[in-house]
């Protein structure tokens, strides 16, 4: 029996998701259904969509299908009905350990929430737990990555301010992305994460699948990976290829960006001594004192502007690229989990063909597995195009911002030097003024 997803009663679905079998009539009234408000923006009734895996997997239930299409891009930001902020990191010291908690503030008009505002404190472990639960409930949906546990390179301390800030931003993005996902945002654990008080969450966490059943899952996963998939559908093969290549490119871009930051910092180190040298010189001069001080001040301004520019790379571009490195790993895991389901199915089919075990029981299992396979594949396909759109939007935006920041940087430096030049020439009244429009 498959254990960890479809039949699990562990993650209670939100009321909105237990949709009765005969849905055809109700589909047309989605917009009026407050509970499903979150879906109304981006759904249409066609096949090929996917739905929450916690639903009983009967073919009938597959009628309620959603397709993630171009409408996603036209999401009206004004229609957003849940706003989550992660801020205010605080350090907690106990006898056993020291850790950071973050304030998670939720403001929502969604009816499944009893109140319109919640404020809780969560630590990184809690986020990890949430992500795990989301993936368990939806193995082939693409969940936004979490920031890493710790960074080896450079031995960044866990309690270093920059590290905490970077992590805070990533956690903020994580929760917001989950809240924007049509299926994940309805997840019950997500709601509990946002609303439960510390002790409530702890006790809820304890209700998770037992150790033994988790062990069983792991064993099966290993067995499945050893078994391998016999005939993976072509589209998943091309997804696999894409993900491999994408992951490589992102890793390269991440590394290049880190390297640029490093080089810029070393450049700034040297530049720091440059302006003072001109100032020192101006002390020995009379007529040259003004021009020298002018150059010193220009160099100094450019130094400050460069510091700003580096910040853009390190605070915005690098984290964004790094997130997609992690996201690529998520994609690989999703594809693996899908393969795992397929491998199980294939194994069961082989067993049937070999007429080994009880045929009827086996047939029933296979039916269930086939349902699981189908919605797993559809879920992945749907989320895949959603992911691609997000990726394109995210990276396009961050590249544009970076390019703009660089343009701004050069324009500011240009202005500084041009005004210096102007002051020099107005003194001399240069006859032979070379045009400043040289390019």
The residue ranges that bind other proteins (CB under 8 A) are 242, 245-246, 249, 252-253, 256, 259-260, 263-264, 266-267, 269-271, 273-274, 277-278, 280-281, 284, 287-288, 291-292, 294-295, 298, 302, 392, 395-396, 399-400, 403-404, 406-407, 409-411, 413-414, 417-418, 420-421, 424-425, 428, 434, 436, 438-439
* Token duo for residue 99: 């850790």
> What SS3 state is found at 27?
helix
Q: What is the C-alpha to C-alpha distance for residues 339 and 349, in angstroms, rounded to an integer?
A: 15
Looking at the Cβ atoms of 160 and 277, the one nearer to other proteins is: 277
Cα–Cα distance list, 105 to 84, 117, 206 (Å):
6, 7, 24
CB-CB contact of 120 with 22 (8 Å): no
Looking at the Cβ atoms of 71 and 117, the one nearer to other proteins is: 71
Q: How far is the CB of 434 from other proteins (least distance, A)?
A: 7
Q: How far is the CB of 402 from other proteins (least distance, A)?
A: 9
Looking at the Cβ atoms of 137 and 317, the one nearer to other proteins is: 317
Looking at the Cβ atoms of 203 and 406, the one nearer to other proteins is: 406
Q: Which of 290, 298, 292 is nearest to 280 (CA)?
A: 292
Looking at the Cβ atoms of 183 and 239, the one nearer to other proteins is: 239
Looking at the Cβ atoms of 219 and 403, the one nearer to other proteins is: 403
Q: What is the C-alpha to C-alpha distance for residues 436 and 24, in angstroms, rounded to an integer?
A: 71
Q: What is the C-alpha to C-alpha distance for residues 153 and 207, in angstroms, rounded to an integer?
A: 37
CB-CB contact of 291 with 267 (8 Å): no
Q: How far is the CB of 401 from other proteins (least distance, A)?
A: 9
Looking at the Cβ atoms of 39 and 278, the one nearer to other proteins is: 278
Q: How far is the CB of 289 from other proteins (least distance, A)?
A: 10
Looking at the Cβ atoms of 312 and 377, the one nearer to other proteins is: 312
Which residues make Cβ contacts (< 8 Å) with residue 156, sequence separation at least 6?
150, 162, 163
Q: How far is the CB of 137 from other proteins (least distance, A)?
A: 30
CB-CB contact of 42 with 75 (8 Å): yes
Q: How far is the CB of 424 from other proteins (least distance, A)?
A: 5
Residue 290's Cβ-side half-sphere holds a number of Cα atoms within 13 Å equal to: 9
Q: Which of 227, 305, 216 is nearest to 2 (CA)?
A: 216
Q: How far is the CB of 232 from other proteins (least distance, A)?
A: 19
Looking at the Cβ atoms of 222 and 407, the one nearer to other proteins is: 407
Q: How far is the CB of 243 from other proteins (least distance, A)?
A: 10
Looking at the Cβ atoms of 229 and 317, the one nearer to other proteins is: 317
* Token duo for residue 352: 């049937």
Helix and strand numbers, DSSP H then E, in the chain: 11, 3
Which residues make Cβ contacts (< 8 Å) with residue 336, sequence separation at least 6?
225
Q: Which of 432, 4, 13 is nearest to 217 (CA)?
A: 4
Q: How far is the CB of 235 from other proteins (least distance, A)?
A: 14
Q: How far is the CB of 184 from other proteins (least distance, A)?
A: 25
Looking at the Cβ atoms of 175 and 243, the one nearer to other proteins is: 243
Cα–Cα distance list, 323 to 48, 184, 239, 402 (Å):
29, 19, 19, 16
Q: What is the C-alpha to C-alpha distance for residues 271 and 121, in angstroms, rounded to an integer?
A: 43
Residue 231's Cβ-side half-sphere holds a number of Cα atoms within 13 Å equal to: 2
Q: How far is the CB of 291 from other proteins (least distance, A)?
A: 5
Q: Is the dihedral of CA 147, 153, 157, 160 positive or negative?
A: negative
């Amino acid at each position: 029996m498959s254990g960890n997803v479809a039949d699990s009663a562990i993650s209670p679905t939100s009321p909105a998701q237990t949709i009765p079998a005969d849905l055809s009539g109700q589909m047309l009234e989605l917009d009026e259904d407050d509970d499903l408000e979150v879906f109304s923006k981006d759904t249409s009734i066609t096949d090929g969509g996917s739905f929450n895996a916690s639903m009983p997997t009967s073919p009938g239930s597959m009628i309620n299908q959603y397709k993630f299409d171009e409408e996603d891009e036209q999401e009206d930001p004004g229609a957003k009905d849940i706003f989550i902020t992660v801020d205010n990191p605080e350090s907690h010291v106990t006898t056993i350990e020291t850790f950071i908690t973050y304030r998670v503030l939720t403001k929502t008009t969604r009816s499944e929430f009893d109140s319109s505002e919640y404020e809780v404190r969560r630590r990184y472990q809690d986020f990890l737990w949430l992500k795990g639960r989301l993936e368990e409930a939806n193995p082939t949906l693409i969940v936004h990555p979490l920031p890493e546990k710790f960074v080896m390179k450079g031995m960044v301390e866990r309690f270093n301010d920059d590290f905490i800030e970077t992590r805070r931003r990533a956690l903020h993005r994580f929760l917001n992305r989950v809240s924007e996902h049509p299926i994940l945002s309805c997840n019950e654990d997500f709601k509990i994460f946002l609303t439960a008080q510390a002790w409530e969450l702890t006790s809820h966490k304890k209700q998770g699948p037992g150790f033994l059943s988790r062990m069983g899952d792991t064993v099966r996963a290993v067995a499945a990976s050893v078994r391998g998939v016999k005939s993976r559908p072509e589209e998943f093969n091309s997804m696999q290829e894409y993900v491999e290549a994408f992951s490589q490119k992102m890793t390269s871009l991440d590394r290049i960006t880190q390297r640029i930051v490093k080089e810029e910092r070393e450049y700034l180190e040297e530049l720091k001594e440059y302006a003072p040298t001109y100032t020192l010189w101006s002390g020995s001069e009379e007529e040259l004192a003004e021009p020298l001080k002018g150059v010193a001040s220009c160099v100094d301004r450019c130094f400050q502007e460069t510091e700003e520019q580096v910040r853009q790379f390190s605070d915005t571009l690098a984290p964004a690229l790094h997130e997609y490195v992690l996201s690529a790993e998520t994609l690989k895991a999703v594809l693996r989990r899908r393969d795992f389901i397929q491998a199980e199915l294939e194994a069961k089919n082989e067993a049937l063909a070999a007429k080994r075990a009880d045929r009827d029981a086996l047939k029933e299992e296979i039916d269930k597995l086939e349902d699981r396979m189908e919605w797993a594949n559809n879920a992945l396909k749907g989320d895949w195009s959603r992911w691609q759109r997000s990726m394109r939007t995210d990276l396009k935006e961050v590249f544009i911002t970076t390019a703009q920041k660089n343009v701004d940087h050069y324009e500011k430096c240009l202005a500084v030097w041009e005004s210096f030049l102007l002051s020099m020439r107005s003194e001399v009244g240069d006859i032979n003024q070379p045009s400043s429009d040289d390019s």
